């Protein structure tokens, strides 16, 4: 069974010579786009990483609000199960 790379090569061999330049441009731009997307994803921190540590130095008022929200969520979740 032929690999996908071998199948691509066979298809490329069937393309008329006057269209090879266009095909090269398509393949080249596709490859460059894939490489740049991988590099961009690797270099950029995740969106969630921006929020790491934001609750580190909360005031007591802010902490009380957060605890209230957590308590309400627990009560709501518990009520749905029972």
What residue spans define the domains of the chain?
4-43, 55-81
CA dihedral 60, 61, 66, 67 (to 10 degrees): 70
Q: How far apart are CA 72 and CA 82, in angstroms?
A: 16
Each residue's pLDDT tens digit, 23-79:
999 999 998 888 777 776 666 677 777 777 777 788 889 889 989 999 998 888 766
C-alpha triplet 63, 68, 73: angle, nearest 5°: 125
Q: What pTM, to 2 d.p., does this model score?
A: 0.43
Q: What is the pLDDT of residue 48?
A: 72
């Amino acid at each position: 069974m032929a690999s996908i790379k071998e199948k691509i090569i066979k298809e490329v061999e069937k393309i008329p010579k006057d269209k090879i330049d266009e095909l090269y441009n398509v393949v080249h731009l596709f490859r460059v786009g894939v490489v740049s997307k991988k590099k961009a994803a690797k270099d950029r921190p995740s969106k969630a990483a921006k929020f790491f540590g934001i609750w580190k130095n909360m005031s007591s008022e802010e902490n009380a609000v957060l605890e209230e929200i957590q308590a309400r969520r627990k009560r709501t979740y518990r009520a749905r199960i029972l």
